[in-house]
Amino acid sequence: MKAALALEDGTYVEGKAFGAEKTAVGEIVFCTSMTGYVEALTDPSYKGQILMMTYPLIGNYGVCREDFESDGVKVEGFVVKELCKKPSNYRSEMTVDELLKSYDVVGIEGVDTRMLTRKIRVFGSMKAAIGVGVEREKLIKIARDQPFISDIDLVDKVCVKEPKRIDVGGKFEVVLIDCGVKMSIVRQLLKRGINLTLVPFNFPAKEIIEMDPDGVFVSNGPGDPARVKETIETIRSIAGKLPMAGICLGHQLIALAFNAKTFKLKFGHHGSNQPTKDLETGRVFISSQNHNFSVDEKTLPKDFEVTQINLNDKTVEGLRHRDLPIITVQYHPEAGPGPHDTYFFFDRFVKMLREW
């Protein structure tokens, strides 16, 4: 079955459909990871986006549910150069085509992902549409007419709807504000003897404090952080009363709660090979990242210290409050997929809980 991909600038490319045969819209972004497509497809942070992989062959090791980062596929659409139809891996339970079909998500293969990636790098992320059996001009119009990602509320579509407790008999009790948390984050916290209570992004601060936890963790998630006002207000109410950590969207929300500002990156950071420098030690590590927005360093209050930066564009990758027990990182220390260089962030959080 033929399919096509259209961008808001009028770009139109044809290919072959896989997954669900439907029309889908979203902001197109590229991911530079060579592996980890299962984790990327199921990452809630990609909600509202069409994901394009820069590595040309996708699907060669199949799909294993153990690698899921959530309860299913979260991307709006999937774009690859070549899709492997017959994966070779003893862990594989299904093909990528079967995975996308089971979650009603459309994919397109046989397109020039290198050309599209170069275009996005030059002109920035764009609104896009994948269509099966849709005329050229109509598909371009569909891509153009959709709302910008900054105008869409996405967090409520990927978070828990009511509190969920996970007890591992650990020493610490932590409330995790779920804005679209990856399961790798949950696993890293549980592994360190932390009992978790996941709560929705709009859960009242008063009820969190009444739970009497040892700390609060603010998760990753999709979309524009400025739209997640409920979580920002919750953070403001809790800050200073309990140790707090944030990852990705959580990092941005904590900064916004202290009246800093965020801005949209030209094409975002999506991949598992982003160089990050720790300003205190001088150490450089490779990090896994997935975000379109960044904290504006110039707007940070003097109470915050920038602890890490991205060596590609010098954007903020880590923050620490000078007086309060608050630490954040923009990248994904849990990886999933990616290198394990930054697991130490979770150890720092545990140290903060222990010393509070």
Asked if residues 116 and 123 have their Cβ atoms less than 8 Å apart, the reply is no
pLDDT band at 104 (very low <50, low <70, confident <90, very high): very high
User: Are 249 and 142 in the same domain?
Assistant: no
| Averaged pLDDT, 285-300 | 97
176 annotated to bind ligand: no
Catalytic residue of the set 159, 248, 269, 270: 248
Q: What are phi and psi of 284, to 5 degrees?
A: -110, 130
User: Are 118 and 160 in the same domain?
Assistant: no
The pLDDT score that the predictor gives to residue 69 is: 98
The pLDDT score that the predictor gives to residue 4 is: 98
User: Are 166 and 289 in the same domain?
Assistant: yes
User: Are 141 and 165 in the same domain?
Assistant: no
215 annotated to bind ligand: no
45 annotated to bind ligand: yes
**Whole-number Å distance between alpha carbons of 136 and 144:** 13
Residue 145 burial (C-beta neighbours within 10 Å; 0-12, 13-18, 19+):
exposed
The CATH number that applies at residue 168 is 3.40.50.880
Structural domain count of the chain: 2
Q: What is the pLDDT of residues 296-323, one digit of tens each?
A: 999 999 999 999 999 999 999 999 999 9
User: Are 215 and 175 in the same domain?
Assistant: yes
Last residue of a domain, one of 146, 181, 203: 146
Q: What is the pLDDT of residues 174-226, one digit of tens each?
A: 999 999 999 999 999 999 999 999 999 999 999 999 999 999 999 999 999 99
Hey, what are 268's tokens?
Answer: 């975002």
**Whole-number Å distance between alpha carbons of 76 and 25:** 7
The CATH number that applies at residue 26 is 3.50.30.20
Hey, what are 314's tokens?
Answer: 């010098």
User: Are 172 and 103 in the same domain?
Assistant: no
The pLDDT score that the predictor gives to residue 280 is: 95
The reply to whether omega before 337 is within 30° of 0 (cis) is yes
Judge whether 332 counts as a catalytic residue: yes
User: Are 114 and 249 in the same domain?
Assistant: no
332 secondary structure, DSSP code: B
| Averaged pLDDT, 311-337 | 97
User: Are 136 and 162 in the same domain?
Assistant: no
User: Are 202 and 134 in the same domain?
Assistant: no
Cα separations in angstroms, 78 against 48, 97, 200: 12, 10, 28
Q: Which residues, in sequence order, are bridge partners of residue 77?
A: 50, 106
**Whole-number Å distance between alpha carbons of 181 and 220:** 5
User: Are 66 and 190 in the same domain?
Assistant: no
Q: What are phi and psi of 289, to 5 degrees?
A: -140, 150
Last residue of a domain, one of 89, 111, 146: 146
User: Are 346 and 275 in the same domain?
Assistant: yes
Q: Long-range contacts made by residues 58-61, C-beta under 8 angstroms, separation at least 24?
A: 58/82, 58/83, 58/84, 58/96, 59/83, 59/84, 59/85, 59/87, 59/95, 59/96, 59/97, 60/84, 60/87, 60/88, 60/89, 61/35, 61/87, 61/88, 61/89, 61/91, 61/92
Judge whether 84 counts as a catalytic residue: no
293 annotated to bind ligand: yes
Q: What are phi and psi of 69, to 5 degrees?
A: -100, 0
- Listed residue (265, 270, 235, 268) closest to 250, CA to CA: 235
Cα separations in angstroms, 140 against 10, 20, 50, 172: 6, 20, 15, 52
The pLDDT score that the predictor gives to residue 329 is: 98
Boundaries of domain holding 141:
2-146
290 annotated to bind ligand: yes
130: three-class secondary structure by DSSP? strand
Judge whether 31 counts as a catalytic residue: no
pLDDT band at 172 (very low <50, low <70, confident <90, very high): very high
Hey, what are 331's tokens?
Answer: 């990248």
The pLDDT score that the predictor gives to residue 146 is: 98
User: Are 205 and 340 in the same domain?
Assistant: yes
The pLDDT score that the predictor gives to residue 305 is: 98
Catalytic residue of the set 8, 39, 76, 334: 334
| Averaged pLDDT, 37-65 | 98
Hey, what are 164's tokens?
Answer: 């969920």
